[in-house]
Structure 1
Amino acid sequence: MSEISNINIQKLTVVQQAIASCCGAIITSLFVTPLDVIKTRLQAQSNPFHKGKCFLYSSGLKDHVCVRENEDSKAWYKKTGHFKGTLDALVKIIRIEGVKVLWSGLPPTLIMAIPTTAIYFTCYDQLCEALKNRLEKHDEHIPVIAGSLSRFGSVTVVSPLELVKTQMQYRRLSYKQLYLCISTKVAVDGWVSLWAGWTSTILRDVPFSGAASGSISAVTTQPFDVVKTHKQTQLWDSETLKIPQRDDKSTWAVMRKIVARNGITGLFAGITPRLFKVAPACAIMISTYEYGKSFFSHLNEKKNQHP
C-alpha cells in the first residue's frame, strides 16, 4: 500500500484517527458484504462432502440431504446448491434465500471492522511517523513495513470474528445455532480453535498491505483466501458433528488436497467477486479515512486558533 496520509497526523489524536478509520470501514462493509457472501459460497461449494447416505431434496434447487453414521450417532446436514459463477450465485441466492441473505454475517463484519480498521490505520500512521524518525524520511520501504506489521496485528485480534462471519455467510444459522456450533468446537479443541485459518489469513492479508496493486495482490493471495474459507467451514463442520478429523490441517496440506480434487483452478474459486470488490472497497475506505482525518485536522486548527 502506498503512503496514504498527506495530513500531519501529529495534529490528530489517536481517537480521531480511529473514528475516521471506523467510519470508512462501516461504509465499505455495507457495500462489499454481498460480494463476500458470494465469494464464500463459491469457495465452500468446492469442499469435499462427507460420505454418507444421500437423499434428494428440492427447494427450487436440487440439494442433497445426507446422513452420516458416526458410531452410534447420526448427523444430518445439507449440501448447498451448485453455483456456476458469480452471477449464477447471485441470482440463485436471491431467488431461493432472499435478498437479505446477501448481507449474512454483516453484524460480525461491522463489529470486526471497528478493531480491524482502528488497529490497522492508526498503527500504520503511527509506525510510519516512528520509522521516518529512525530511517530516511522518504525511504520507500516505510509504508510496506508499517502496513505489514499493522495488518499482522489487526488480523490476529479479529481472527475469531472473521471465523464467525465466514460461518454465517457459508450457511444460514440462527444466533443460537451459531453459539452451539462455536461452544461445541471450543469444548472439543479449546479456545485456540477460534483462530482456525489464521495462518492462511496472514498469508493472504500481509502481502496485500504492501502490494502496489490491489488487483494483482488479490489474484496472488487468492489461494490463501480459499484455504482460509475451507478451514473455517469444512473442518469446523466435521468436528462440530463429532466426526474424527485426523488429516493434516496445515495451509499447504489443505492446498494440496484442493489441487488434487479440483485442479489448480480450485485455488482461485471466488476470485471474480473478490476482484470486483477490491477497487471500490479500497477507494471507499481510503477516501472516507482521508476525509475524516481532514475534517478532524481542520477542527483541531479552529480550536487552536480560538482556545
Structure 2
Amino acid sequence: MGANTVDIDLDDPRFRIRPYQQMVASCTGALITSIIVTPLDVVKIRLQTQQKAMSSNKCFLYCNGLMDHLCPCLDGKSPPWMQANGKFTGTLDAITKISRSEGVLSLWSGLSPTLVLAVPATIVYFVSYEQLRLFFKDTYNDRYNKGGKNSAQPFWIPVLAGSTARIWAASLVSPLELIRTKMQSQKQSYTEIGQALKTVIRYNGISGLWMGLGSTLLRDVPFSAIYWLNYETIKQYFWGTQRTFTFNLAAGAVAGSIAALLTIPFDVVKTHRQIEMGEKKIYSEQPARSGSTYSTIRLIYGQNGIRGLFAGLTPRLVKVAPACAIMIATFEHGKRFFQAYNANQMLELKT
C-alpha cells in the first residue's frame, strides 16, 4: 500500500491540491527554471548582440525560458562588455570570458526583471490551467462518465484549458511589459511609471497598454494548446508508469519540442513585430503601434520566402525544450508533494 500511494492519481478529488498549493508549486518551478536557464540565455544574448551591434538594428529580442526581453543597442555602438571581452567565438568561449572579466554572477544578469514579472505570470498561467482542466474534466465525467474511478479526459480539455490560461496570463502582464520595456531602455525610476502610462494612453488610448498583445497571443496560444495536448497525451499513454521527476522531465521536453517546432512561424512573426514595436516605444516620445500581423508575414515572406518563417528553429528548440522540461517536472513534483501532504492530513483526521 505504501509503495503504491506515491503513484495515486493527482486528480483524485480526495487528495487534490488546493489553489494556494498550486501557486507554491508553480512559483518554485518558475524560480528554478529561471535560475537554471538564465546563464544559458545570457550567453546567447551576448552572441546575438555581436551581430546586432554591427548592423543598423537598434533592438534585439531574447528570451530566458519564461519571458521575452527587448534590449536596445544605442547608436549602433558596441556595449562596454563587448569592448572589454573582445569577440566571442562560441558558447564555451563566451562563458569563460564573461566569468573571468565580469564575475560568475554576471551570468545571471537580467534575472531580476524575470522574477518580478515572469514568475507572477507563470503562477497565473499554471494555476489557471490546472483549475480549468479539472473543472472541464469533472464536468465532462459527471455528465458522461458518472465520475468513474478511471475518469476520462478528452483531448480537447488540455487544449481549451491551456489556450484560455495563456490568454488570461498574457493579457494580465501585457501592460506591465510595455512599461518595463520603456523603463529598462531609458533607465527611468519607479516614480516615472505614472508619466510613462500617461504618455502611452495620451497617444493610443487605454487599449495602447495592450500594444503587441495580438502578436504575443498569435504565438503563445497555439504553443500552449499543442504543448498541453502532447504532455497530457504522453501521461495517459504511460498511465501505468511511475511518474518520477525524470519521466516528467522527459515528457515536458518532448511536448515542448513538438510545440516549438509547429509554432516556429508564429514565433518569427512575433519577434519581428515586437522588435518593430519596441523601437517605436524605446526611441520615440510618441509610442506608436507596429504594423499588422499580415503585413509582417508578407514582409518576411517577400524577403526570405518560406524559409524565413522557419528561421531560428534550432535555437528555439535548444531554449524551449529544457525550459519546458524543468518547469513542468518541478511543478508536477510540487503537486505530488502537496498531494502526499493532503493525504497524510486526511489520515490523521480519521485516526
Q: TM-score, normalization: structure 2?
A: 0.62
1:274 aligns with 2:316: yes
Q: Displacement, 1:27?
A: 0.8
Instruction: Give the % identical residues.
Output: 43
1:253 aligns with 2:295: yes
Q: Displacement, 1:28?
A: 0.8
Gapped runs of 5+ residues in structure 2? 1-7, 59-72, 79-86, 145-151, 231-254
- The answer on whether the counterparts of 2:280 and 2:288 sit within 8 Å (CA) in structure 1 is no
Partner in structure 1 of residue 160 of structure 2: 145
- The answer on whether the counterparts of 1:30 and 1:106 sit within 8 Å (CA) in structure 2 is yes
Higher-helix-fraction structure: 2
Residue identity in the other structure for 2:156: H
Q: Displacement, 1:201?
A: 1.4
Q: Displacement, 1:251?
A: 1.3
Q: SS at 1:138's partner residue?
A: coil
- State the superposition RMSD in angstroms: 4.4
When structure 1 is superposed on structure 2, of 262-271 and 276-285 the one drifting more is 262-271
- The answer on whether the counterparts of 1:28 and 1:285 sit within 8 Å (CA) in structure 2 is yes
**1:233 corresponds to which of 275, 290, 309:** 275
Q: SS at 1:139's partner residue?
A: coil
- The answer on whether the counterparts of 1:128 and 1:146 sit within 8 Å (CA) in structure 2 is yes
Instruction: Quickly say closer, same or farther: Cα 1:276–1:239, change in 2 above 3 A.
Output: closer
Residue identity in the other structure for 1:249: G
1:31 aligns with 2:36: yes
- The answer on whether the counterparts of 2:216 and 2:270 sit within 8 Å (CA) in structure 1 is yes
Q: SS at 1:306's partner residue?
A: helix
Higher-strand-fraction structure: 1
| Residue-pair matches, total | 279
* Counterpart Cα distance in 2 of 1:173 and 1:90: 31
Equivalences for 1:1-307 in 2 at 5 Å? 6-8=9-11, 10=13, 11-36=16-41, 77-79=74-76, 87=90, 91=94, 94=98, 103-135=108-140, 136=144, 137-163=152-178, 174-176=187-189, 182-183=196-197, 184-211=199-226, 212=230, 213-242=255-284, 249-307=291-349
* Counterpart Cα distance in 2 of 1:117 and 1:33: 16
Q: TM-score, normalization: structure 1?
A: 0.70
Residue identity in the other structure for 2:207: V
Q: SS at 1:78's partner residue?
A: helix
Structure with greater contact order relative to length (CA < 8 Å, sep ≥ 6): 1
Q: Displacement, 1:134?
A: 2.8
Q: Displacement, 1:282?
A: 1.7
Q: Displacement, 1:186?
A: 4.8
* Counterpart Cα distance in 1 of 2:118 and 2:275: 21
- The answer on whether the counterparts of 1:42 and 1:269 sit within 8 Å (CA) in structure 2 is no
* Counterpart Cα distance in 2 of 1:64 and 1:254: 19
What whole-Å deviation, never above 9, does each CA across 1:13-58 have from its counterpart, x for those lacking one? 11011110111011112223355566678889999xxxxxxxxxxx
* Counterpart Cα distance in 2 of 1:209 and 1:86: 35
* Counterpart Cα distance in 1 of 2:216 and 2:165: 14
Instruction: Quickly say closer, same or farther: Cα 1:247–1:14, change in 2 above 3 A.
Output: closer
* Counterpart Cα distance in 2 of 1:89 and 1:264: 32
Q: Displacement, 1:302?
A: 2.4
